[in-house]
Structure 1
Amino acid sequence: MNKSDRMLAVVLELQRRDVVKAEDLANLFETSVRTIYRDIQALSEAGVPIVGTPGTGYSLMEGYFLPPISFTVEEAVTLLIGTDFIEQRFDHDYRVKAQAARSKIEAILPENVRNETARVSKSMRLLPSDKRIAPTKETEHLGTIRKAILDQRKISFHYTKRHADSNGQRHSARTVAPYGLALVQGSWMLVAHCDLRQSIRHFRLSRMTELIDSEDRFELPSHFNLREYAPPDDRNLQVRLRFNDDIADKVKESNYHYMESMTEQPDGLHAILRVRRQEELLSWVLGWGADVTVLEPESLRNRIREEAENMLKRY
């Protein structure tokens, strides 16, 4: 980043945040604190009203706002692709906002940039997966949950687990304080504090039914930050599989979320997966048919054998 670009970025960062330290700016732009001091001085001499408080940091004088700036072709394409993503993955309200944002972005672009952006955009396309073509439970619930998060109101719903618990139950009624939403492996996940379990839990929107917005309020814990939140990893069961060479490429392309590592060996593709329990990947392993061999654990080998025998009895 050259000096002019960095100085502009400094102003944008000051405009975005109330107060920022020189050390933080130096880390952000990968330069020295002394360089940031020189940039601040140059900006002040150019008329940008920057206020510096020793021990606190820098801020822009209240009321100052950087006038609109132009976009490069690459920046414009990035923003337009972002609106495509919002249209495909978010609820109706945000789809409408994304369409409006695209129109505004295209309207303010200079003609030469707009033409070049259109040419570049034609060479790229963001395709949804098959299950996203039609409206799903996820998009139906997304708007309600998003508003509940912003208004800090609890929600209630019936939830269906993928696997039964120790009591053989898969269905339960939940009331939760919604903390945030995350798009994981193409599916929306709610991170929330569950009243039933009295701890943070994760819920797939596609497994929710009878969702209602409660009048009960909650207060988001001051220490919780969704961007920094990392759920505890309790996948303690290691599974080793061997795939025939004929399907090795398909396995690699599957991007299976339980996959830990893959190595090519003379006898095929060896893969290591970690799960909470073997039922989580039983269907996935069976889907590869005779082209996969379970190396360990023995309990999963036996389970696969039992399923194969049951299938044989049906045919």
Structure 2
Amino acid sequence: MRKAERLFQILTLLRSKRGVITAQQIAQQLEVSERTIYRDIQALSLSGVPIESEAGVGYKLKANFSIPPIMFDEAEIEALLLGGRMVESWSNQSMAKAASSALAKIHAVLPDKLHQLSVEQPEWLIVPQFNSAQYQQHNEQISSAIKNRQVILLNYQDEAGNLTSRKVWPLGMIYWGKTWTLVAWCTLRQDYRMFRLDRIQTLDNLTKFFQTREDISLQHYINLIKQQQQRYSG
């Protein structure tokens, strides 16, 4: 990696962090030595970039520092288009609207060569639009409950057609392709459960709230799944 490219990436990392980032963390990200990072930080500081350092803590940019807008290359534009169009097609209405707005802002700042790429969908970039009413029902309401850590009451029909009523702590949602699934802590079973959104009959956000714990959280659930996969593969 050329030094100029490395300096740019260091600056990008500093801009993306609200707090401090250590030389070790930067070195691991860029796959170089910490000594190289120390030299690069010094070079950025000498060039006028206001980097604050705290001994034994790390580096951060001074508040209110800004640089000219970052420009994207062709591969990055294609990645942004793919991600944006997936959100437009498969997420809830508010997220789809936000994705469309973000893509429009990207279009507005691109040079002519890349602007044409952002307008014309590449032949390989096909994102089918599924029936949002059928497959994404309750998506926005559940998203709000996850953010607010709000208990929800749902009436659910399982694969066999059985109806059940559950109070759950919504932890996260997974998209499996055409179907969104809620990962939740079920207060009835006192265990993690997954609920397909298209099988939820009714859903109410209650006035009760919850706090995640080390043993009840989305990350804990993911770790359990990883452990299961490791046992199976082993």
Q: What RMSD over aligned residues (CA atoms) do the two structures have, in Å?
A: 2.5
Matched, 1:4 2:4: yes
The TM-score, its normalising length taken from structure 1, stands at: 0.65
Higher relative contact order (CA 8 A, sep 6+): 2
Structure 1 counterpart of 2:211: 219
Structure 2 counterpart of 1:76: 77
Structure 2 counterpart of 1:86: 87
Contact 2:81–2:118, Cα closer than 8 Å, also in 1: no
Structure 2 counterpart of 1:140: 137
Structure 1 counterpart of 2:64: 63
Contact 2:184–2:194, Cα closer than 8 Å, also in 1: yes
Measure how far apart 1:142 and its partner are: 0.6
Report % sequence identity.
Answer: 31
Unpaired runs of 5+ residues, structure 1, are 165-169, 239-259, 261-315
Aligned length: 228
Distance 2:117 2:111 in 1: 10
Unpaired runs of 5+ residues, structure 2, are none
Measure how far apart 1:116 and its partner are: 4.3
Residue among 148, 152, 160 paired with 1:151: 148
Structure 2 counterpart of 1:285: none
Contact 1:80–1:102, Cα closer than 8 Å, also in 2: yes
Distance 1:162 1:175 in 2: 19
Deviation digits for residues 89-108 of structure 1 (CA, Å, limit 9, x no counterpart): 10111111111111111111
Contact 1:73–1:117, Cα closer than 8 Å, also in 2: no
Residue among 189, 203, 207 paired with 2:199: 207
Contact 1:180–1:226, Cα closer than 8 Å, also in 2: no
Measure how far apart 1:228 and its partner are: 8.3
Matched, 1:187 2:184: no
Contact 1:187–1:204, Cα closer than 8 Å, also in 2: yes
Deviation digits for residues 15-46 of structure 1 (CA, Å, limit 9, x no counterpart): 21111111111111111111111111111111
Q: Structure 1 pair 228/70, CA: closer, same or farther in 2 (3 Å)?
A: farther
Residue among 212, 222, 229 paired with 1:229: 222
Distance 1:78 1:194 in 2: 36
Measure how far apart 1:160 and its partner are: 2.4
Name the stretch that deviates more: 30-39 or 110-119: 110-119
Matched, 1:15 2:15: yes
Q: Structure 1 pair 104/139, CA: closer, same or farther in 2 (3 Å)?
A: same
